[in-house]
Structure formats: C-alpha cells, structure tokens
C-alpha cells in the first residue's frame, strides 16, 4: 500500500490523535486570503478535518478532495450538516475539476504527498487570478522539554523500529512554488504545546505512516518500549509545536 493511502486504514485513531493547528494560524490565513462567504475554497486531503472547522465556519463555499474512502466517509459524517460543505472522494493528481476554480487552495500536511509539478502546476491552474495557495504543517519537538526521555525513546527506535516499507518520502520544497508562476512566497510560524500520557503518545505514534507498517514481533515491542519510557518519566511527554504556514499568490 502507498504511504499516502495508509492513513485510511485508521480513520478513528487518525481523527483523535493527529495534531490540530492553532487559532492564530487560521486567523492569519483567513485575514490574508480574505476568506468569507464570497470566497470559494478547496482543501486538499482534509483527512478527518484537522484543519477544516475554522475555514468552513467562515461561511465560504468550501470544497475538499479526499483520497481515502474511510476518511471521506468520516468527513461526510462530521460536516454534511453544513450547507456550504462539499467533498469528493478521489485523487487530486488525476481528478478532473472541469470548469471549477477557487479563490483559495490549502493543504494541511497533504500537498507534500503530491509530485511537485502537479502540486504547484495544477493548483496554479485551478486558482483564480489573485488567489492564494496556503500550505501548513506541524513540527513537534519533545527533546527540548525532556532530553533524557528523548534519548531513551531514541534507543527504543534503534532497537525495534523496523518498518516493512522504508519511508523515502521527504524533501518537498515549498518555496519551489515560485518556479510555477506563484509570487509573494512567504513563511509564517506559530507556536503551541501538546501533552500526552503514555497511552496517548503510543496512539499518536501509531498514526505515523511508517509506524503503521512495522511488522510483528517488532511492532508490539516498539510501542511497548515507547509506553514504558513515558511511564517512567511520570506518564507525561510534552511537545513544543511549531505550526508552519507557507503562503503564495497567483498573480492578478
């Protein structure tokens, strides 16, 4: 199974434990792009709505495209009561949007799964002149909050982290949007904090694509090892989060 499809195997766990983004980020994005009832917005791969509520609740004409069948069904159950909510279950790479166009296209930790020439080329074509491309992601740091725990967790990784499929994805260059006609590229950062118990941390780690594909007996030993170290650290692990927002414009 492709890594970008594997999240669809754990919709409930994904919904509960994947990180959300801070209010300040959404306020900034909504202000920057002028999102309101007069705007048409497309979210790429919303998952189960980690970045959906603040945008949908502006009253914009909200559209989403979700690859995962189970994630798609979860989104429909959560948001179909909103008259401005529209979603399709398809692959952005191949989907025919026909004559649709959008004022804003945004992605929360999704666009990096799409080949660059499609990620930037196709979004550029779909945006109206003057439209906004927004891309967000979370960087979590638990080393700064407890370096001893961090080092012990790294030992667990060294001993038991043996995924069946090597994770080779990475290196997506957000600034390359400028090579596809976008202008005004910029990066903005916001900050937050998460705290997990041992059980919550294990469940969160179980939503990482390459962690899902660890075979037995390593999988049980790996997650038990993580749990034990957090329990010994007082049943608490704290993340200092940086929420990154990349912005770019299609010229008028």
Q: 177-223, pLDDT tens digit by residue?
A: 999 999 999 999 999 999 999 999 999 999 999 999 999 999 999 99
Task: Kindly report, residue by residue over 117-150, the tens digit of the pLDDT.
Answer: 999 999 999 999 999 999 999 999 999 999 999 9
Taking only Cα atoms into account, the Rg of the chain, rounded to an integer number of angstroms, comes to 19
Nearby residues of 177 by Cβ (< 8 Å), 6 or more positions away? 120, 133, 185, 246, 248
Superfamily of domain 3-249, CATH level 4:
Vaccinia Virus protein VP39 (3.40.50.150)
- Other CB atoms closer than 10 Å to residue 78's CB: what's the count? 17
Confidence grade of residue 169 (pLDDT, cut at 50, 70, 90) = low
Q: What is the pLDDT of residue 141?
A: 98
Q: What is the pLDDT of residue 117?
A: 97
What pTM, to 2 d.p., does this model score?
0.95
The H or E element spanning position 218 is: helix 218-232
What is the rounded CA–CA span in Å between residue 183 and residue 171? 21
Q: What is the pLDDT of residue 104?
A: 98
Task: Kindly report, residue by residue over 26-65, the tens digit of the pLDDT.
Answer: 999 999 999 999 999 999 999 999 999 999 999 999 999 9
Nearby residues of 163 by Cβ (< 8 Å), 6 or more positions away? 210, 211, 213, 214
Given a contact cutoff of 8 angstroms between Cβ atoms, the answer to whether 218 and 175 are in contact is: no
* 161, HSE (Cβ side, Cα atoms, 13 Å): 15
Q: Identify the residue whose tokens are 């927002």.
A: 245
- Other CB atoms closer than 10 Å to residue 163's CB: what's the count? 18
Confidence grade of residue 2 (pLDDT, cut at 50, 70, 90) = confident
Task: Kindly report, residue by residue over 71-117, the tens digit of the pLDDT.
Answer: 999 999 999 999 999 999 999 999 999 999 999 999 999 999 999 99
Residue 217: asked if its preceding bond is cis (omega within 30°), the reply is yes
Q: Is the pLDDT of residue 3 over 90?
A: no
1/54: higher pLDDT: 54
Q: Is the pLDDT of residue 1 over 70?
A: no
Q: Coil, strand, or helix at residue 188?
A: strand
Q: Phi/psi at 251 (nearest 5 deg)? A: -60, 150
């Amino acid at each position: 199974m492709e890594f970008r499809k594997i999240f669809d195997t754990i919709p409930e766990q994904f919904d509960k434990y994947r990180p959300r983004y801070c209010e300040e980020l959404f306020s900034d994005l909504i202000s920057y792009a002028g999102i309101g009832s007069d705007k048409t917005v497309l979210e790429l791969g919303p998952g189960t709505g980690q970045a959906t509520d603040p945008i949908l609740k502006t009253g914009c004409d909200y559209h989403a495209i979700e690859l995962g069948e189970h994630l798609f069904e979860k989104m429909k159950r959560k948001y179909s009561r909103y008259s401005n909510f529209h979603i399709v279950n398809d692959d952005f790479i191949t989907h025919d949007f026909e004559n649709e166009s959008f004022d804003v296209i945004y992605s929360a930790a999704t666009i990096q799964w799409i080949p660059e020439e499609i990620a930037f080329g196709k979004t550029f074509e779909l945006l109206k002149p003057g439209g906004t491309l927004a891309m967000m992601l979370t960087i979590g740091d638990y080393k700064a909050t407890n370096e001893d725990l961090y080092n012990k967790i790294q030992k667990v990784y060294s001993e038991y982290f043996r995924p069946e499929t090597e994770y080779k994805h990475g290196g997506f260059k957000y600034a390359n949007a400028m090579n596809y006609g976008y202008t005004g590229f910029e990066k903005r950062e916001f900050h937050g904090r998460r705290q997990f118990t041992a059980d919550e941390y294990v469940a969160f780690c179980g939503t990482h694509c390459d962690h899902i594909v660890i075979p037995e007996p390593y999988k049980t030993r790996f997650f038990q090892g993580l749990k034990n170290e957090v329990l010994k650290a007082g049943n608490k692990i704290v993340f200092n989060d940086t929420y990154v927002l990349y912005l770019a414009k299609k010229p008028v």
